[in-house]
A and B are shown apart, each in its own frame.
Chain A
């Protein structure tokens, strides 16, 4: 059998779906390195960061794949979402590439201005990539709002629009602030820092990452809430989901304010 002659048995899988798989594979690779490598950077194992980012990308692309599957083909296969996903994929691959490379060197990948190359990689690749990813989430919020034929119930459509929209808006605020101060913590950590396991958030001083976590995951939290609203046929679903979105935003901003005041989350 000449393999090159075998016809393609299935249509091209959506890029969001492929990127979910690639992110999961990157998580496995980073986890394997984590199992052997004892080096620590800023009180956290060096491979924890690529693992967290890869896990976050799995969730991000899986959520988008789920949404795309509910959009009409006009939107799903339209130029806007295809270009958006191509840009998001490029951002993910370059960000993960650099984060893995820097983890191998036991060097920070964010807020690293130590050499011109590190500065370029942080300010252009990491910051630009993050901006592209967040803007992409905003584009999907727009698509969910405008695609009237989408297979989305009333609560689910609002859960997606609010969730994706808040992920976009809140992340711009929280991550934008972290970029502006070039740090994810407020205050000076003690010589022997205590960090939340797995997440690595400081339990001594203000840490902006809890708010960043909530802002990024509004796009999962609110659709899941909307699913419950849909399941239990709650009355006035649009109002209920919108109120939940408001509460979620308030909680995120409260964590943000707590971190700005230099207080740890617990």
Chain B
């Protein structure tokens, strides 16, 4: 399989997970497990398959920006890095969705936050936690329903 094919398959897998998080009714728990566990695990396996054989010989590392740049000069590691994003963004998206479900945040409000997580991972984290912080700690009077 070429690297481009693995890239395409990984992207499609992640998108299946995101579609489930965004649109599937939460009462279908099995679907939720696919998005939160099965797909991230599959992506993690793909990551492991590419990071472990190529890490050492790339001559890169985690210590400096230059070392990280060196890692990404190897196409296999570039792919691994991308799959790492896909896996973790999806896992975090699933976690944030679950937190937002728990405090009763509407799915329509969740959608832009989850899409931000899909596009720019940590931005979605900021939005989700910021929103949750206000919902949880707002003036007591405002929380009366």
Interface residue ranges, A against B (CB under 8 Å): 3-4, 6, 8-15, 17-22, 24-26, 28-29, 32, 65-66, 69, 86, 89-90, 93, 97
- The residue that B141 contacts in the complex, of A32, A69, A86, with Cβ under 8 A, is A69
**Chain B, interface residues (CB within 8 Å), range:** 20 to 34
Closest Cβ of chain A to B25, distance in Å, is 12
Chain A residues closer than 8 Å to B134, beta-carbon distance: 17-18, 20-21, 24-25
Q: B126 contacts the other chain (Cβ, under 8 Å)?
A: yes
Contact A3 B98 (CB under 8 A): yes
Closest Cβ of chain A to B64, distance in Å, is 20
Chain A residues closer than 8 Å to B145, beta-carbon distance: 11-14
Task: Give the interface SS of chain A, mostly helix, strand, loop or mixed.
Answer: helix
Chain B residues closer than 8 Å to A97, beta-carbon distance: 112
Contact B127 A10 (CB under 8 A): no
Question: Given A6-B102, A69-B142: A15 and B109 within 8 A (CB)?
Answer: yes
Chain A residues closer than 8 Å to B123, beta-carbon distance: 29
Closest Cβ of chain B to A191, distance in Å, is 36
Contact B138 A20 (CB under 8 A): yes
Interface centre among B26, B113, B131 (most CB of A within 10 A): B131
Contact B127 A25 (CB under 8 A): yes
Q: B104 contacts the other chain (Cβ, under 8 Å)?
A: yes
B118-145 interface bits toward A, Cβ cutoff 8 Å, 1 = contact, 0 = none: 0000010011111111110010011111
Chain B residues closer than 8 Å to A24, beta-carbon distance: 130-131, 134
Question: Given A11-B145, A17-B138, A69-B144: A22 and B103 within 8 A (CB)?
Answer: no
Question: Given A4-B29, A4-B32, A25-B126: A18 and B141 within 8 A (CB)?
Answer: no
The 6 closest A-B pairs by CB, nearest first: A25-B130, A21-B134, A21-B131, A12-B104, A25-B127, A11-B145
Q: B2 contacts the other chain (Cβ, under 8 Å)?
A: no
Contact B131 A22 (CB under 8 A): yes
A selection of 6 A-B contacts at a CB cut-off of 8 Å is A13-B103, A13-B143, A21-B131, A22-B112, A25-B128, A29-B126
Docked CA distance A25–B128 (Å): 8
Closest Cβ of chain A to B106, distance in Å, is 6
Q: B105 contacts the other chain (Cβ, under 8 Å)?
A: yes
Docked CA distance A8–B98 (Å): 11
- The residue that A15 contacts in the complex, of B106, B130, B141, B143, with Cβ under 8 A, is B106
- The residue that B109 contacts in the complex, of A22, A66, A69, with Cβ under 8 A, is A22
Chain A residues closer than 8 Å to B129, beta-carbon distance: 25
Question: Given A4-B29, A13-B103: A21 and B112 within 8 A (CB)?
Answer: no
Interface centre among A10, A19, A20, A25 (most CB of B within 10 A): A25
Contact B135 A13 (CB under 8 A): yes
Chain B residues closer than 8 Å to A4, beta-carbon distance: 26, 29, 32, 98
Interface centre among A9, A20, A22 (most CB of B within 10 A): A22
Excluding A20-B134, A29-B127, 18 further A-B contacts by CB distance (< 8 Å) are A3-B102, A4-B29, A8-B104, A9-B102, A12-B106, A13-B105, A13-B143, A15-B109, A19-B109, A20-B138, A21-B133, A21-B138, A22-B127, A22-B130, A24-B131, A26-B127, A28-B126, A69-B142
Contact B126 A18 (CB under 8 A): no
- CB under 8 Å from chain A, chain B span 94-117: 98, 101-106, 108-109, 112-113
Chain B residues closer than 8 Å to A19, beta-carbon distance: 109
Closest Cβ of chain B to A64, distance in Å, is 11
Closest Cβ of chain A to B126, distance in Å, is 6
Docked CA distance A67–B93 (Å): 33
